[in-house]
Each structure stands twice: as C-alpha cells, then as structure tokens.
Amino acid sequence: MILGTGIDLCEVSRMGAKVQAPADDFVAQVFLPGEIAYCGAKRHPAEHFAARFAAKEAVVKALAGAAGEGSFWQDIEITNEQDGRPVVRLHGRAKEMADALGVRRVFVSLTHTRDLAAATVVLEG
C-alpha cells in the first residue's frame, strides 16, 4: 500500500551558489559525508547536490510534512546501489516518523539537467 508520495524540483544554479559559498556551512548541515564525497567527485557537483536536495525535500513531503520544528536533513541520506540506482536511507527522527507510519520501503527517482534537478519519492507500507 502507498503511504505517501513526494516530489521536488531544485535549480542547479541556486544549489551551485550554496555549495560554493565559502562562509556558508549549508553543505555540512544538509548532506552527510558520503553524499558530499559522491557529489564532489562528479564533473558537475551542483547537479548531483541539487538532485539529492530535491530527494530529501521529496521525502519530507512524502512523510506528509511531518518534519515539525527543527532540521533533520542529515537523517535523510541519498546513496547509490552498486548498479547506480539511488536509495534513500532514513536515520534518527526521519526513521522514527517512517516507522510510525508503517513504511517498509522507500522508492526514489532522481533526474537532472544542467539547469534543474528533480526527485520523486514513494513510501510503501
């Protein structure tokens, strides 16, 4: 049974500006070390950061905006299987919310162009 869906769109140029801001710790606040290493190793890191940010936003929307107060971006991790498929891994508060909803699987799809990145998420129970 589908318990929630989410979709988000992120401008690559906006994410690129945030990633390159020298005094801004946006990247460290939002992304986990593995995500930073993955995106940083790509030819166009901003596209990959934008896609992962969109996926995190889509997860929050799929959880019906259950985020409440405070930030838990690092409780939502976007990784890849060996074959390249993106995977959502939930930790901490995000996992607690998903468990409370009865989520058994999280499906995610990412896409990006030079200008935009998008993600969709489906929660299955």
CATH number, domain at 109? 3.90.470.20
pLDDT band at 23; cut points 50, 70, 90: low
Interval 93-117 mean pLDDT: 95
What is the pTM assigned to this prediction? 0.92
pLDDT at 71 over 70: no
Q: What's the rounded Cα separation, in Å, for the pair 6 and 99?
A: 17
Q: Report pLDDT digits (tens) over 76-94.
A: 999 999 999 999 999 999 9
Helix axis angle for 12-20 and 45-62, nearest 10°, is 110
pLDDT score of 67 more than 80: no
Angle, helices 45-62/33-40, rounded to nearest 10 degrees = 140
The residues, any chain, with a CB within 8 Å of residue 83's CB and separated by 6 or more, are none
Q: Which domain holds residue 10?
A: 2-124
pLDDT > 60? residue 70: no
Mean pLDDT confidence for 61-88: 84
Task: Report the number of distinct structural domains present in the chain.
Answer: 1
- The predicted pLDDT at position 87 comes to 97
